[in-house]
Amino acid sequence: MPLLITEQTSHATVEASSGQLASSVDAEARSLAAAIARGDEAAFRALYDRYRQRLFRLALVLGRGDESLAQDMVQSVFVTAAKKLRRVDNEEHLWNWLARVARQQFAKTWRQRQRDPTLTNAEMLTEDCPASVESDLFLEEVLDGALKILEAEERQLIQVFYFDRLSQKEIAEQLGTTPKAVSSRLERARAKLRSLIKRALTHET
Kindly give, in sequence order, each residue whose CB lies less than 8 Å from that of residue 200, ignoring residues fewer than 6 positions away.
142, 145, 146
Quick check: 12 pLDDT over 90? no
Span 72-78, average pLDDT: 94
What number of residues does the chain have?
205
* Inter-CA distances, 20 with 17, 88, 97, Å: 9, 19, 23
Task: Give residue limits of the domains in the chain.
Answer: 4-201
pLDDT tens-digit readout, 128-184: 444 444 577 788 888 889 899 999 999 999 988 888 888 999 999 988 999 999 999
Q: What is the pLDDT of residue 56?
A: 93
pTM of this structure? 0.71
User: Is the CA virtual torsion 11, 16, 21, 26 positive or negative?
Assistant: positive
Instruction: Give the DSSP letter string of 119-172.
Output: GS-HHHHTS----SSS-HHHHHHHHHHHHHHS-HHHHHHHIIIIIS---HHHHH
Say how far apart CA 170 and CA 21 lie, in whole Å. 37
Say how far apart CA 24 and CA 91 lie, in whole Å. 10
Quick check: 36 pLDDT over 70? yes
Residue from 83, 71, 76 nearest 100 by CA: 76
Say how far apart CA 122 and CA 173 lie, in whole Å. 37
* Inter-CA distances, 201 with 140, 159, 177, 204, Å: 12, 21, 35, 8
